[in-house]
Structure 1
Amino acid sequence: MRSSALQHTAQSPMPESPSPSPSVSSGEKPKTLSLPPVTTTTTFPSHNERSRIRLTAAFFALLTLGWGDGVTGTLLPYFKRDFNLSFMTSSLLFVASAVGYALGTLCVEFVTSFLGRTCFSAAKTPAVLPLPSLCRRKLQHPPASDASVLGFSIHRCRFLTLAIMSVCHSAFFMIMGSKSGFPSMLVAYAISAFSRSFILGDRSLTSLLYRNVYVCTISKRGLGYMYGSWAIGAFCAPLVCQSIIATGIRWANFYFGSLVLSAINTSLLVFAFCPTRIELLRDADFAWALLRSASPTPDAATVATKETAQASPTQSIAPILQKKISVGPRTYSAAVRKPKLWASAIFSMIYTGSESSTQGFIVIYLLSLRSANPNTVGYVTSGFWGGMAISRFLWGYLGSIVTFRQRKWIIQGCISVAFCMHLLIWFVPSFIENAVSAAVVGLVYGPIYPANISIARDLLPAEVHLVSLAIVAAFGSFGAAVFPFITGTLSTAVGPRTLPIITVSQCVAMFGLWILFPSQPPEQL
């Protein structure tokens, strides 16, 4: 988790691109510079201010993201019809989404560092936007004129990141509503995933604080509820979209109407996460305190260190940050040598591929092989996401209660049930039964991904958590692109009947990988 730290070499969070040493500007020589006194206890910024409205904004933001992401399966037959696409070509939408997410992951470090860079003046409160601040700060011993230090404001960075990327996400609805052609749709899906990588904030080492860890520190069950909000948005969107199409309205109008939801989301994020004066002053105090305690630059193996004895906000069993933790080349080397990391990463890739293939192609499968009604078949996608919403909220409540062993066997049972449901979709020629099976698949798929992240945290050493979770998430993003593309390619060559064959195979692979994980916590092994 990235602290509100002064940007100098000794505190740089990424050794690959260290920030410049702290710069102090003053009309006098640095030797005579009078630093402002510490007015508050210098600690890492508290996240409890305005927590209720911020949690509401976080949940609504995830609902908006799910709203745009969950309707793809319902509209895929209409995309094929209006743009004369094959199954393989239509599956490129999932590839475009993965590419956008990958670009966002690569850019997030640079962008967030730029947005959070702040010039802290000893006589002024730092501004939220890069504009001169008119609010002067009262000091008992005013420092030299124009004394300032270049630091990092986590609150300003979080606010600007969420505001800009929520506006960027609204461009997805605008482009899709314009119905400009299939290439523009690919761009729209890439833009949506790019902005989503920043808003979710769980794919990079430094953006963990903005959403996932922020929610975890405010509410122990908040992370499960947050992803449940995503599933609620994905559940509601196909219901609304299918109802609109059934009345004869163009599907493109659904995206134009979604701009209202996007505007509410942006307004709520701006209102909730706009930094307070106290938060900005705390960031400034922290920057000045780091300048006072600035030490000679350490070697690259000891950068990005932090000492604390408090429990991890992510509720991991493994000891978190009880000693100096480094995020450098040695950490990456240590992480990639852990077999359990690769087992969790491959499991994540298979799961996300199965989830994306099921929700993306189930409607086409039912239309082609079960003679489904085009005016009602889109509701099957809603059933899938509705089942996932129920289990995600339930897992958000139970996730902090179940033991390590119970979690292992609960997920094993979920995979077994999903395997049976995919077999029923494959062999039972009934639209009603297949629709119910798809909903049950969504229900049992809900806790699988959060449980995989949890078991990765518990089994891997604390010093490689950040790198390991980033690798697991990257594999998940890759699986969400490659498996739907494989499904679309095989459907073009053989037919849509290949969908259950692929999903059944994926369930077998998930079952085999998950059973290899230990059934006891690390300290009992």
Structure 2
Amino acid sequence: MALFMVMFLAGWNDASQGPLLPSLQIFYNLDYLVISIIWVFNFLGFMSSGLTNVWLTDRLGFGVVAPLGAAFQALGYVWLCWGAPYPVFVLGYVFVGYGLGLQDAQVNSLTSRLPGASTKMFLMHAVYGLGATVSPLVSTEFVKRVPRIYLYFTVSLGLAIITLVVLALVFRGRTEDQVVGVRPDVEKSASGGKMKRILTTPVVHYMAIYICIYVGVEVTIGGWAVSFILNERGGNSNAGYISVGYFGGLTLGRVILIPLTLDAYHSSIVAIALEVVVWLVHSIPANAACFALIGFILGPMYPIVMMVVVDVIPGELQGGTIGWIASLGQAGSAMMPFITGALANHYGVWILQPLIIAFLGFSLVLWFFVPRPKGWRA
């Protein structure tokens, strides 16, 4: 349950940007490019967590690093919730990104070692989708009813504090090995040596870049779909519910498709076809349905990659590898929405669809280089 809370809050955070973005633009009187800087600061936090996660884990252990991540995330929300001038406001996203990156790395690594890891990984990421489904409901109501939109982050702060307390009480400073048992026949090595081996293993980079693009696509759609519907399809304040449908589809995909062996190529091709429909069909209901289906089709890919890591990476490197891949994924969730915003500022927000199609096409090429255990079609 504690791990589920971490993932719920991660989904909550990632999905809140879409409905909030137009209101934050109005509140701070900013264009697409400048408002997108929030994702640059998120990126700095995520990358910092990826580079420090192995070192912190080897010295402090899961039971300290995971609550530490929740504390950094809570600090970020404290920074965001009082409506500071924009140059100060965006600094809060560094702390949120760093805290989220640490927690994401820790809970994915621990879950991969639990009994029935594959099912638990799917369910954990389904809870991420649940948080991402609930968040737009709440943020859309804030947009419609609360003029000081930054007060939304007080709700996020409350959730982060609850998560911090639960992690501290449940795990009580224990390491991952103390929680699930020591890995058999695993040779211990220094943090620096582990990180060097991880960063010099080609397959790690293929999976990391794939997840970077995948999570980037996931969050970019959730972050910019509302602006797309408002500006390109003439939507109103209810456009925030587009994100609800999209992340609801993602959640269902991670639950319903657990028993199936997925084909990543076919899933991505279907998602590309749906994006073409969104691009060419000027209908809000049709676009909303396509976004929900895209979420459903792409939902299972993240937990599938995490389970591939367990099967193809040596035991002592699995925790660090999962942490690195998860952090790169979060970095993608910051980098790609910024790229979208920068291009939208110049060309218009319609650019979202061809950009997503291009990213999905590139992910297809990357997946070709990712080894799969025997019997996998994903």
TM range (shorter): 0.7 to 0.9
Distance 1:434 1:386 in 2: 15
1:10 aligns with: none
Alpha-carbon deviation of 1:457? 4.2
Maintained 8 Å contact 1:363/1:378: yes
The letter for the 1-side match of 2:101 is S
1:195 aligns with: 99
Maintained 8 Å contact 1:67/1:233: yes
- Whether 1:448 aligns to 2:301 is yes
Distance 1:197 1:520 in 2: 27
Alpha-carbon deviation of 1:225? 1.7
More helix by share: 2
2:252 aligns with: 390
Maintained 8 Å contact 1:57/1:269: yes
The letter for the 2-side match of 1:102 is M
TM-score after normalising by structure 1: 0.63
1:19 aligns with: none
Distance 1:509 1:225 in 2: 27
Which of 334, 340, 347 aligns to 2:210? It is 347
The 1:329/1:186 distance shift into structure 2, 3 A limit, reads: closer
Which of 74, 77, 80 aligns to 2:22? It is 77
- Whether 1:234 aligns to 2:110 is no
The 1:262/1:464 distance shift into structure 2, 3 A limit, reads: closer
Alignment of 1:209-228 (within 5 A): 212-214=109-111, 216-217=113-114, 219-220=116-117, 221-228=119-126
Distance 2:309 2:109 in 1: 16
The 1:217/1:62 distance shift into structure 2, 3 A limit, reads: same
Distance 1:171 1:370 in 2: 37
Maintained 8 Å contact 1:349/1:475: yes
Alpha-carbon deviation of 1:262? 3.3
Distance 1:247 1:470 in 2: 39
Alpha-carbon deviation of 1:167? 3.3
Alpha-carbon deviation of 1:254? 2.2
What RMSD in Å do the two structures reach over aligned CA positions?
Answer: 3.2
The 1:345/1:61 distance shift into structure 2, 3 A limit, reads: closer
Which of 148, 161, 171 aligns to 1:273? It is 171
Matched residue count? 372
Distance 2:325 2:46 in 1: 14
Alpha-carbon deviation of 1:338? 5.0
2:8 aligns with: 63
Which of 38, 44, 48 aligns to 1:103? It is 48
Bigger shift: residues 477-486 or 500-509: 477-486
Which of 220, 224, 227 aligns to 1:361? It is 224
Alpha-carbon deviation of 1:362? 1.1
Which of 304, 308, 311 aligns to 2:184? It is 308
Higher relative contact order (CA 8 A, sep 6+): 2
- Whether 1:489 aligns to 2:351 is no
The 1:185/1:386 distance shift into structure 2, 3 A limit, reads: farther
Which of 21, 33, 54 aligns to 1:88? It is 33
Q: Which runs of 5+ in 2 are unaligned?
A: none
1:262 aligns with: 160
Alpha-carbon deviation of 1:333? 6.6
The 1:219/1:463 distance shift into structure 2, 3 A limit, reads: closer
The 1:177/1:228 distance shift into structure 2, 3 A limit, reads: same
The letter for the 2-side match of 1:250 is R
Distance 1:345 1:64 in 2: 22
Maintained 8 Å contact 2:11/2:131: yes
Show CA shifts across 1:192-211 (max 9, x none). 111122222x2xxxxx5x66
Distance 1:446 1:376 in 2: 24
TM-score after normalising by structure 2: 0.85
Alpha-carbon deviation of 1:358? 1.3
2:86 aligns with: 182
Alpha-carbon deviation of 1:418? 0.8
Bigger shift: residues 491-500 or 64-73: 64-73
The letter for the 2-side match of 1:501 is P
Show CA shifts across 1:165-187 (max 9, x none). 32332233332221112223321
Alpha-carbon deviation of 1:423? 0.4
Alpha-carbon deviation of 1:163? 3.6
Distance 2:301 2:357 in 1: 16
The letter for the 2-side match of 1:392 is R
Work out which of the two has the higher radius of gyration on C-alpha atoms and give 1 or 2: 1
Alpha-carbon deviation of 1:369? 0.7
The 1:520/1:259 distance shift into structure 2, 3 A limit, reads: closer
Maintained 8 Å contact 2:11/2:129: yes
Which of 353, 374, 378 aligns to 1:521? It is 374
Distance 1:499 1:392 in 2: 24
Show CA shifts across 1:242-301 (max 9, x none). 1233235532232223443334333333332236xxx89x98xx9xxxxxxxxxxxxxxx
Maintained 8 Å contact 1:216/1:223: no
Distance 1:223 1:365 in 2: 32
The 1:160/1:501 distance shift into structure 2, 3 A limit, reads: same
Maintained 8 Å contact 2:10/2:128: yes
Maintained 8 Å contact 1:212/1:223: no
- Whether 1:472 aligns to 2:325 is yes
1:434 aligns with: 287
Alignment of 1:405-444 (within 5 A): 406-407=261-262, 409=263, 411-444=264-297
Maintained 8 Å contact 1:101/1:477: yes
Q: Which runs of 5+ in 1 are unaligned?
A: 1-55, 117-156, 203-207, 287-305, 310-320
Bigger shift: residues 453-462 or 359-368: 453-462
Which of 500, 506, 513 aligns to 2:353? It is 500
